């Protein structure tokens, strides 16, 4: 490859599918092409917001996360479609399978985007030519458009793919960041959300260039370690590798819901937390996972977001415990404002089979009670074979929707058996 010197830096692609759900629907039904379409929840409920929309809809002022009623007001001819998650997973698998025909160094990060390290590809084509070939094949073979960012690291590749949509291919080199990246507002920087953006603005940092030039002490005081990370990224520094094995790293299991109406009734809110906790517990059980940290997410009627968490020495996975902690966090921190959305998450999860609970004066009796059962199991296993009887929580994970943490994360399960093929 001659357009980016291989001996000086890595060559990282960020592949970003354009309006993925909408594009998949248009591919399945060509009569939808060229029309304003959107994927949404139930339009009869307030929780009906747009998951994504086609570029034709965006041209009419419609955008992702807009409510259904507002989108229809802006674009009366908007075609609303319910999400077809299985269809999107099939398309995602096909997309990543195509990427792996170029290199095994492919890291899926969501259902419609991923990184590729093409540094070591043995090809007469330049990086730009490889990117163009990938883009052309995705469009011709799968009828799906994408944008591709090319850079020496993940952060710059991700940034580059956002600069030209749809169907763009953009190269972003470190030497160009002062002209391309620094003039942009802080909210345009990958990794900066609304809350972080407000904190940066409050200390006089309004552009990405301001972050790049800011003193580390000021950033660390305002944002902790994340402030230093943002400064490095703003200066084009990012040493994260493209890691195909990251698909095995489930870090959290959670569930959230938008309430049908702004809610202040404590008993109704309690029911919501019970439902969310049960769903999280079912998913943890199905995936054989547990974690030491329970957190809640709260969004009030004014769209203000807040979160609280509590960590424990031992792992949490049972619904009653999850609910107990979540409800306690909520009642201690709720200021009485009407609630729009609630969420419950168990994080830092690990496989329960691989975790040995720490014995203490509080739980040794529980383990002592198990001892006769364990001896019986050992006797039966020695007589009939080890596979005859196993502990209940070591059974194969349920291949059902109970095992789903969230759709955007669970698609990763599709890649665990495919990346090495």
What is the CATH classification number for the domain harbouring 168?
3.30.70.270
3-state secondary structure of 19: coil
Q: Pick the last residue of a domain from 173, 203, 218.
A: 173
Q: Kindly state whether residue 340 falls inside one of the protein's structural domains.
A: yes
Alpha carbons 88 and 20: distance in angstroms, whole number: 8
Both 39 and 73 in one domain: the answer is: yes
Both 189 and 292 in one domain: the answer is: no
pTM here is: 0.69
- End-to-end alpha carbon distance in the chain: 26
Among 244, 220, 138, 153, which Cα is nearest to 190's?
A: 153
Q: Residues 266, 272, 273, 275: what is their CA dihedral angle, to the nearest 10 degrees?
A: 150
Task: Provide the token pair at 182.
Answer: 């620094």
Give 419's contacts (C-beta < 8 A, 6+ positions apart). 100, 104, 106, 244, 247
Both 340 and 198 in one domain: the answer is: no
Q: Kindly state whether residue 285 falls inside one of the protein's structural domains.
A: yes
Give 238's contacts (C-beta < 8 A, 6+ positions apart). 153, 154, 155, 156, 232
Task: Using alpha carbons only, give the angle 378, 383, 388 rounded to the nearest 5 degrees.
Answer: 70
C-alpha distances out from residue 385 to 29, 389, 395, Å: 54, 8, 16
414 annotated ligand binder: no
What is the CATH classification number for the domain harbouring 194?
1.10.150.20
- Structural domain for 38, as ranges: 1-173
C-alpha distances out from residue 228 to 151, 160, 198, 211, 341, Å: 21, 22, 17, 9, 31
Q: Kindly state whether residue 114 falls inside one of the protein's structural domains.
A: yes
Q: Kindly state whether residue 62 falls inside one of the protein's structural domains.
A: yes
Both 129 and 101 in one domain: the answer is: yes
Both 33 and 116 in one domain: the answer is: yes
Alpha carbons 154 and 1: distance in angstroms, whole number: 19
Task: State the pLDDT at residue 391.
Answer: 46
**How many domains in the chain?**
3
Both 310 and 219 in one domain: the answer is: no
Burial class (CB in 10 A: 0-12, 13-18, 19+), 147: buried
16 annotated ligand binder: yes
Task: Provide the token pair at 277.
Answer: 């906790």
Both 198 and 156 in one domain: the answer is: no
pLDDT in tens, the chain (421 residues): 544 444 458 999 999 999 999 999 999 999 999 999 999 866 555 457 888 999 999 999 999 888 888 999 999 999 999 989 899 999 999 999 999 999 999 999 989 999 999 999 988 999 999 999 999 999 999 999 999 999 999 999 999 999 999 999 999 999 999 999 999 999 999 989 888 999 999 999 999 999 999 999 999 999 998 999 999 999 999 999 999 987 766 688 999 988 888 899 999 999 999 999 999 999 898 888 899 999 999 998 888 888 999 998 889 999 999 999 999 999 999 989 999 999 999 998 887 765 544 444 444 444 445 455 545 555 555 555 544 444 444 444 444 444 444 445 556 666 655 555 5
Both 213 and 333 in one domain: the answer is: no
Q: Is 120 a catalytic residue?
A: no
Task: State the pLDDT at residue 352.
Answer: 73
Both 333 and 279 in one domain: the answer is: yes
Both 41 and 144 in one domain: the answer is: yes
Catalytic residue among 25, 56, 113, 285: 113
Both 193 and 152 in one domain: the answer is: no
């Amino acid at each position: 490859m001659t357009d980016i010197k291989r001996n000086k830096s890595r060559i990282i692609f960020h592949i970003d599918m354009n309006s993925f759900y909408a594009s998949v629907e248009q591919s399945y039904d060509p009569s939808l092409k060229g029309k304003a379409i959107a994927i949404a929840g139930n339009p009869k409920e307030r929780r009906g917001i747009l998951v994504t929309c086609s570029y034709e809809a965006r041209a009419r002022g419609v955008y992702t996360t807009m409510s259904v009623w507002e989108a229809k007001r802006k674009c009366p001819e908007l075609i609303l479609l319910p999400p077809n998650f299985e269809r999107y997973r099939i398309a995602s698998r096909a997309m990543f399978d195509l990427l792996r025909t170029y290199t095994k160094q492919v890291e899926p990060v969501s259902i419609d985007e991923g990184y590729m390290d093409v540094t070591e590809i043995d090809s007469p084509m330049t990086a730009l030519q490889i990117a163009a070939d990938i883009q052309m094949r995705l469009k011709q073979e799968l009828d799906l458009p994408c944008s591709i960012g090319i850079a020496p690291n993940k952060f710059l590749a991700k940034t580059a793919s956002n600069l030209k949509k749809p169907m763009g291919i953009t190269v972003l080199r470190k030497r160009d960041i002062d002209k391309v990246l620094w003039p942009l507002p802080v909210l345009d920087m990958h990794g900066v959300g609304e809350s972080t953006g407000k904190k940066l603005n409050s200390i006089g940092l309004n552009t990405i260039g301001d972050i790049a030039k800011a003193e580390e002490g000021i950033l660390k005081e305002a944002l902790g370690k994340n402030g230093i990370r943002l400064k490095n990224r703003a200066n084009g520094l990012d040493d994260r590798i493209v890691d195909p094995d990251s698909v095995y790293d489930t870090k959290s299991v959670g569930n959230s819901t938008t309430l049908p109406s702004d809610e202040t009734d404590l008993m109704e809110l309690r029911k919501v937390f019970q439902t969310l906790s049960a769903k999280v517990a079912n998913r943890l059980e199905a995936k054989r996972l547990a974690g030491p940290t329970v957190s809640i997410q709260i969004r009030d009627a004014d769209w203000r977001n807040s979160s609280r968490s509590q960590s424990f020495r031992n792992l949490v996975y049972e619904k009653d415990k999850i609910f107990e902690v979540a409800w306690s966090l909520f009642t201690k921190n709720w200021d009485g404002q009407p609630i729009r959305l609630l969420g419950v998450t168990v994080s830092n999860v690990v496989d329960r089979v691989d975790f040995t609970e720490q014995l203490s004066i509080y739980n040794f009796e529980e383990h002592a009670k198990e001892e006769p059962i364990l001896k019986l199991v050992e006797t039966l296993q020695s007589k009939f074979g080890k596979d005859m009887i196993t502990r209940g929580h070591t059974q194969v994970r349920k291949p059902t929707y109970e095992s789903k943490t969230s759709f955007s994360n669970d698609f990763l399960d599709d890649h665990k058996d495919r990346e090495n093929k």
